[in-house]
Amino acid sequence: MNEDNYLKFKNSKEQKFLFLYSSFSDLSNFLLNIVKNDNSQTVVISDTISKALSFYKIAEQYISKDNIEIIHKNLNKTQIFSAYKNINSGKTKLIIGTKTAIFSPFSNLKTIIILDEESIYHKQYDQNPRYNVKDVAEYMANISKDLKLIYTSSSPSIETYNKNLEIINIKDNIKKELNIIFIEGDYIDTIKDNIEKAQELNKKVVIINNNRLHSSSIICNDCGYIEKCVKCNIPLKLDKNINKEVCKICGLEKDIISYCPVCKSTNIKFIGIGNQKIYQKLNEIYQNKKIKIIDKSIRQININEINSLDIIIGTDFLIKNYLAYINNIYSLILFSVDDYFIMPDFKSNEFMFRYIVNITNIAKEKNINKIYIKTKHKNDAILNYALSNDYLSFFQEEIKTRKLLNYPPFSIIIKLIIKDKNKKEYDKKIAKIKDILYNAQKIETLGENTKLNKNETHIIIKINKEEYNNLKDIIKNISKYALLDINPEFLIK
């Protein structure tokens, strides 16, 4: 099948492609077979350093080390200068890196490859310029018609799939059965059962939950009152490490209530499953087991240390950086699926589909045949499309919704970020922007969010795609008072 795909790609007159895959190693080998004998330059853009390094290790089997350079933020200035010198001289044929590698001083670039194009990490979102590496690659391809642009994905973004690019399907057609089990009763009993079975086989259990705190809500067990953030109007979570109620959006921290402010009851309950709670319960039961939480708060850990653990509790950070390299996993237990059903974002279905497909692909590649899922929505259509890896059905349903509600790819979303250390100037900027938006036609304001104790407000606007060019003068005027994040990965963050 790969020989046919290779010939299809080589003989195609198209400039832009979408490569669909299920196994990263299969994808890497296929791509390297394409570029190994090419005397021109190829740049491979990865969403993470760990994935770039994995691709580099495979590339060494095809191309001499002397002809490969790797670019990422952990290199020092001397290393980057040396790499740039080799790239500019033409000595380097293959450049592998994260998004900044797209700005390397190429001398003979003919191919751009974007690994996992759907990843949110291809977007620079926390400092200016807030660019998406895909937009840069598109621009480069549009001004150089002999430059090939290859997107790769196991679950493409709606926007990319909607471009109707030529598809090269290198997915493994061998059906690897996964045993999907929905957790119905006490989740601790399910975890204990898995730990005992894993122990018999000298394997480990991996628990994935994006709530890295203790509990997801604080409620009164008598009247049903829910503690919410005064700014964001979302439930506050309990962080046991600092013993505070916290808001994950604006960062608010406050003392834990001892009684209900509505009915004065002291019957306060902490509901929801957080990683601190899971760790606390398992640590009480299995004092002789090696248990660790792995999330973005962890400073340094290597894969050998992770592989020595018996029970691993992690967030998306674990999936992104380590899951593919963990050995001897008996089962995966997922707790975060229901988060996507309450996410205030038009991309929530896409995020859930991507989350499930990514995990199931890793499970198949690592021969993990049991995945446990804690959810109230086991009959949901999108969830079941993801579990069966039916992207086409998912896309057809999602694109109808996007068109009906006029969301991307049929419109452009812009996040206006207004901030100023001077409170008076900050208030002036907000007033000016609101005045512009009030008088502007064909610009829809979706909402706004103000950061607690900060002079910072985010306003989300939506513009029909066909009207965008006609409104550029208004957008330029707005940019005098706000930073613009065009098509942000998240509406609220």
| Nearest C-alpha neighbor of 380 from the set 356, 399, 359 | 356
Q: What angle do CA 190, 313, 244 make, to 5 degrees?
A: 105
Q: What one-character DSSP code corresponds to residue 271?
A: E
- Give the pLDDT score at 383: 96
Instruction: Give the tokens for residue 104.
Output: 């390397």
Three-class secondary structure assignment of 71-139: ECCCCCHHHHHHHHHHHHHCCCCEEEECHHHHHCCCCCEEEEEECCCCCHHHECCCCCCCCEHHHHHHH
Tens digit of pLDDT for each residue in 322-344? 998 899 999 999 998 988 988 88
Between 449 and 261, where is the model more confident?
A: 261
Share of the chain above pLDDT 70, in %: 99
- Give the pLDDT score at 1: 52
Chain-wide mean pLDDT for the chain? Answer: 92
Cis peptide before 344 (omega within 30 of 0): no
Specify the pTM. Answer: 0.88
- Give the pLDDT score at 175: 63
Instruction: Give the tokens for residue 168.
Output: 């090269």
Least confident of 160-169, 340-349, 445-454: 445-454
**With contact defined as beta carbons under 8 Å apart, do 250 and 225 qualify?**
no
- The string of DSSP codes covering 392-416 is HHHHHHHHHHHHHHT-TTSEEEEEE
Instruction: Give the tokens for residue 252.
Output: 């608010």
Tens digit of pLDDT for each residue in 16-27? 999 999 889 899
Residue 391's pLDDT band (cuts 50, 70, 90): very high
**Has residue 473 got a pLDDT over 90?**
yes
- Give the pLDDT score at 311: 95
Average pLDDT over residues 60-79: 93
